[in-house]
Amino acid sequence: MAHIDYYFATVSPFTYLAGTRLETIAAKHGATITYKPLDVIQLFGRTGGVPPKDRHPNRQDYRLQELARIAAMEDLPINLKPAHWPTNPAPSSFAIIAAQKAGGGDIGALVHGLCRACWAEEKNIAEDDVIAEKLDAAGFDPSLASSAMLSAADDYARNLEDAVMNGAFGAPFYITDSDDRFWGQDRLDHLDWQLSR
């Protein structure tokens, strides 16, 4: 059975635009997924990337065009300049880590719900009530928003170290158990192809 390590950031618009296509692909191939939320700005700093605010205006302008185009193609609503971005990604990431350990819900739906809250619903995903709402909607105990945060902090830091060690440099980033690496939601078709081989 194939396995995918999924490195992502809850504040990443490209993670949002991936929707739940990873889960569909994994189900098609009988693959398992480990969700590894991380701080993508720290990942950029460790691997030679540049945060969006520090990029040349040409790159910033292109990024906005690209986001709008992909959102339209995927039929996903998007606010290109959300009210609560950037925000602290740690609380929502801690909740995902805690939910994955607790089980009983739909992790893919939780990840997408949190990203959608940021990029389409004008909600601050650093706030406990927003996180609890998304946990509940995905079938998890909403109290995970506050009860399991400290234990998740170590895993969150470890995810960043694992990402660097395993060759990731952006989000979303997918790595199979055969060390095939795919960067970006626009490489999900490539991941699907690889798992078919």
Domains, the chain: 3-196 (3.40.30.10)
Predicted confidence (pLDDT) per residue in 79-113, tens digit:
999 999 999 999 999 999 999 999 999 999 999 99
Which amino acid makes up residue 86?
P
Residues facing residue 176 across a β-bridge: 4
Name the packing angle between helices 188-196 and 21-29 (round to 10°): 0
Beta carbons of 14 and 45 less than 8 angstroms apart: no
Report residue 123: phi and psi, to 5°: -115, 150
Beta carbons of 123 and 130 less than 8 angstroms apart: yes
Q: Which helix (H) or strand (E) holds 182?
A: strand 181-183
Q: Which of 40, 39, 115, 48 is nearest to 84 (CA)?
A: 115
Locate tokens 């880590």: which residue? Answer: 97
Tell me the mean pLDDT per 10 residues along the chain, length 197.
97 98 98 98 96 96 98 97 95 96 96 98 96 97 82 94 98 98 98 97
Beta carbons of 21 and 188 less than 8 angstroms apart: yes
pTM for the predicted model, two decimal places: 0.96
Tokens of 134: 């998304």
Count of residues for the chain? Answer: 197
Q: Which helix (H) or strand (E) holds 52?
A: none
Give, as one character, the DSSP assignment of residue 187. Answer: G
